[in-house]
Amino acid sequence: MLKKIFSPLWKGYLAFGHFMAPKITFLLVSIIYFIFVPIFSLIRFTDPLKMKLQEGGSYWLEKKPIDTSINGMKRLY
Amino acid sequence: MTEYILGIACYYHDAAACLLKDGELIAAAEEERFNRKKHYSGFPHLSIKYCLEEADIDIKDVQYIVYYEKPFIKFNRILETSIAQWPKSFGVFRRAIPMWLKGRLDMRKHISKELKIEPSRVYFSEHHLSHSASAFFLSPFKEAAILTEDGVGEWATTTLGHGKDNKMIIDREIQFPHSLGLLYSALTAYLGFRVNDAEWKVMGLAPYGEPKYVDRFSKLVDVKDDGSFRLNMKYFSYIHSHKYTINRKFGELLGRPMRKKDEEIDEFYTDMASSGQKVVEDIIVKIADFMHKTYKTDTLVIAGGVGLNSVANWRILEKTGFKNIFIQPAAGDSGAALGAAFAFYHLALGKPRKYEMKHALLGPSYTDKQIKETLDSYDAKYTEYKNDKELIDATAKMLAEDKVIGWFQGRMEFGPRALGNRSILANPQNPKMKEILNSKVKFREKFRPFAPSVLKEKTSKYFDIDIDAPYMLLIPQVRKEWQKKLPAITHVDGTARLQTVDKETNPKYHALLSSFEKKAGVPVVLNTSFNVRGEPIVCTPEDAYSCYMRTGIDALVVGNCILTEKNQEQVENFKELNIVYIKRDEGR
């Protein structure tokens, strides 16, 4: 009896959740992007993406040695 | 105890898997071949299943699973780029962040869940380390300079390094957003072609034009004498857009807006293809020159998607001091699965080298019984041959009679090229063969060239090359006296994207070329991939039969059977294939 009542309610709740999830995600991501990201964006005065072109010299960057030990390759970074 | 390592590449484009058994590469395949979705980027379940079946093992028997990238570093790049490009990067940010937080970031958990294994067996290799390892450890060389050039991995887009025995170092890099791969993609987009799919077309179009606009195109990129470069980012959009590679200024600089998809490719765009190709080639040659001086070796190995630019590869051989070159045939992201596995085997486990990639025939094969069962299930009419010689002679005879042949034999190739096991073959001496193939089978743009396969031992008689080119990644000149005699494979500039065929690695295909030589006078056939435009290369006998029925292929040679008659009622039933293009992963 209870199952009969709650089953459609539960299904409805799930459908509502699926419908709302992308909207809530969009809202949260938008809040993060427009409130928190600019703080980091503004306090950085460097050229993190090295966009500026330079006269002479070389654009090669020295590559730090990659840790290829088993433990190194275990890491996600 | 036998040691198995599974290499995986996925979630950008061309997902793939490979399997190493005690340091020997025993299987590798791209997922698109199994699920028939071109450039599929999702998890390569079917490729993994195939690899395990090939070794007759279960996933439980695999000790190490190595993913081809470091997810945290890539996520860091996406975040940093979003921050630096605020507020233009909102589109990328809102798509990428939920995707990454939902599971992509904890790739260990994600992979272990997909494969139903313990997370402790999952390892990670940097993207360019994977590419570099795929080039060096699979090459025949004990020592070499290593060049990796692609769109982007984590941060690196171009890396230089050096390998010796089972050791390798990468010591220089160019980082995102400055990328040769993305510069070439920008040119591809500008010319109205699909990015990450139609870069071949630009390469094929370039020889029809003149490099008149090198000066304009050069303003897109600042190149130093040592080949290092930075792109002038004011012309590019990919840094903050998931949809657009270039912006309006790009067209303004080059003199005309981006070509629309169905717009005619006129002289201007053809000359621009030529100019862009030249600029990219010049950069690559400068880099190679710098490497030759720095690493003091005559041997170079190359991987990364830009390594598929066979014209640039040939220029390296022509213009720099490198005398030996190895380009890993699956140089794009699918091949990074190989590198991830080999990097782990040699660098993490410290095992010595024993494997050399002599061919790319690493995919599934089908027995004569399986092939016959497939054909019988369609009530197909075929002739079964009891020995290879008769089958080969009959095929060579048809080729000499200008028939277009679907050739399906042995193990499927790994990488973007059909190398004589899943190929459409034709007579290169027929001046109309390009048009015939395009109208009956391939439906490609007229400007795209077709490639030749030639007997390895007779290569230098027909082509101006004295080294092996087994993977169609070098473009020498067809010798002057043969250019008019081999019109279907000679490109407008007199070159050909050559495959040399070795008796040791593909005896059946070698025998076919030998038989064709006896009948037609040349040991050269036109070899193009067994598919129609926009479709992955065929994998199974069923795929081959379907392609044969839907196109104007005259005969299908599948295993030891030859089909020459099509049941017309059945032809109607083979509906137009639903071509599925997979979008570039937006989480990139």
> Is B583 a member of any domain?
no
Q: Kindly report the nearest CA distance between residue A1 and chain B, in angstroms.
A: 37
d(CA B14, CA B34): 12
Within a domain: B582: no
Q: Is residue B584 part of a domain?
A: no
Query: Where does the pLDDT of residue A5 fall: very low under 50, low under 70, confident under 90, or very high at 90 and above?
Result: confident
Query: CB-based contact (8 Å) between A39 and chain B?
Result: no
Asked whether residue A71 is assigned to any structural domain, the reply reads: no
Residues of B in contact with A58 (CB under 8 A): 224, 226, 228
Residues B311 and B377 in one domain: no
Q: Which of B154, B166, B167, B178 is nearest to B230 (CA)?
A: B178
Contact B174 A59 (CB under 8 A): yes
Together in a domain, B423 and B460 = yes
Contact A50 B129 (CB under 8 A): no
Same domain, residue pair B336 and B403: no
pLDDT tens digits along B267-286: 999 999 999 999 999 999 99
Q: What confidence score (pLDDT) does residue B580 get?
A: 44
Split at pLDDT 50, 70, 90, the class of B509 is: very high
Rounded to whole angstroms, how far apart are CA atoms B466 and A16?
68
Closest-approach residue (CA) in chain A for B156: A63
User: Is A61 part of any domain?
Assistant: no
Q: How sure is the predictor about B110, in pLDDT bands with cuts at 50, 70 and 90? A: very high
B238-242, B291-295, B521-525: least confidently modelled range: B238-242
Looking at the complex, does the CB of residue A21 fall below 8 Å from at least one CB of chain B?
no
User: CB atoms < 10 A from the CB of B456, how many?
Assistant: 21
Q: B304 with B206, same domain?
A: yes
In which band, very low, low, confident or very high, does the pLDDT at B576 lie, cut at 50, 70 and 90?
low
| Residue pLDDT, tens place only, B181-199 | 999 999 999 999 999 888 9
Q: Find the Cα–Cα–Cα–Cα dihedral B407, B412, B415, B417, rounded to 10°.
A: -10
Same domain, B337 and B219: no
What pLDDT sits at residue B118? Answer: 96
> How many domains are there within chain A?
1
Q: Tell whether A66 is covered by a domain.
A: no
Asked if residue A70 is part of any domain, the answer here is: no
Picking from A24-28, B572-576, B580-584, which range would have the lowest pLDDT averaged per residue? B580-584
Residue of B nearest to A36 (CA): B83
**Which domain, by its residues, includes A19?**
1-45
Establish if B363 belongs to a structural domain. no
pLDDT in tens, B139-198: 999 999 999 999 999 999 999 999 999 999 999 999 999 999 999 999 999 999 999 888
Average pLDDT over residues B210-234: 97
Judged against a pLDDT cut of 80, whether residue B130 lies above it is answered with yes
User: Does residue B169 belong to any structural domain of this protein?
Assistant: no
A16 in a domain, yes or no? yes
Cross-chain residue pair B178–A50, CB shorter than 8 Å: yes
Q: Are residues B381 and B319 in the same domain?
A: no
CB spacing of B94 vs A33 below 8 angstroms: yes
Q: Are residues B476 and B537 in the same domain?
A: yes
For residue B10, give the CATH number of its domain.
3.30.420.40
B86 to A53: CB separation less than 8 angstroms, yes or no: no
Amino acid B584: pLDDT = 43
Chain B neighbors of A20, CB-CB under 8 A? none
Q: B384 with B264, same domain? A: no
Determine the average pLDDT of the residues in B509-531. Answer: 97
B578 has pLDDT over 50:
no
**Closest of B28, B19, B108 to residue B63, by C-alpha:** B19
Q: Do B458 and B564 share a structural domain?
A: yes
Residue B42 lies in a domain: yes
Judge whether B357 lies within some domain: no
- Nearest-CA distance from A46 to chain B in Å? 10
Cα-based distances in Å from B309 to B96, B140, B149: 30, 21, 10
* pLDDT value, residue B582: 41
- ipTM for this prediction: 0.91
Number of domains in chain B: 3
Select from B247, B248, B244, B250 the least CA-distant residue to B272. Answer: B250
- Reduced to 3 states (helix: H, G, I; strand: E, B; else coil), residue B80 is helix
pLDDT tens-digit series, residues B19-34: 999 999 999 999 999 9
The answer on B548 and B411 residing in a single domain is yes
Q: Would the pLDDT of B585 be above 60?
A: no
A-B interface: how many C-beta pairs under 8 angstroms? 120
Q: State what percent of residues in chain B have pLDDT above 70.
A: 97
Digit-coded pLDDT (tens) for B365-423: 999 999 999 999 999 999 999 999 999 999 999 999 999 999 999 999 999 999 999 99
Q: Domain range spanning residue B454?
A: 368-573
Quick check: B128 and B72 in contact, CB under 8 A? Answer: no
Query: Do residues B497 and B431 both lie within one domain?
Result: yes
Model confidence over B317-365: pLDDT tens digits? Answer: 999 999 999 999 999 999 999 999 999 999 999 999 999 999 999 999 9
Q: Is A58 inside any structural domain?
A: no
- pLDDT, tens digit (0-9, with 9 covering 90-100), for A17-74: 999 998 999 999 999 999 988 888 777 767 888 888 988 899 999 999 999 999 999 9
Q: Is A40 within a domain?
A: yes
Q: Are residues B311 and B343 in the same domain?
A: no
pLDDT in tens, B430-464: 999 999 999 989 888 899 999 999 999 999 999 99
**A48 contacts in B (CB within 8 Å)?**
80, 83-84
Among chain B residues, the shortest Cα distance to A71 is held by B348
Contact at 8 Å (CB) between B340 and B66?
A: yes
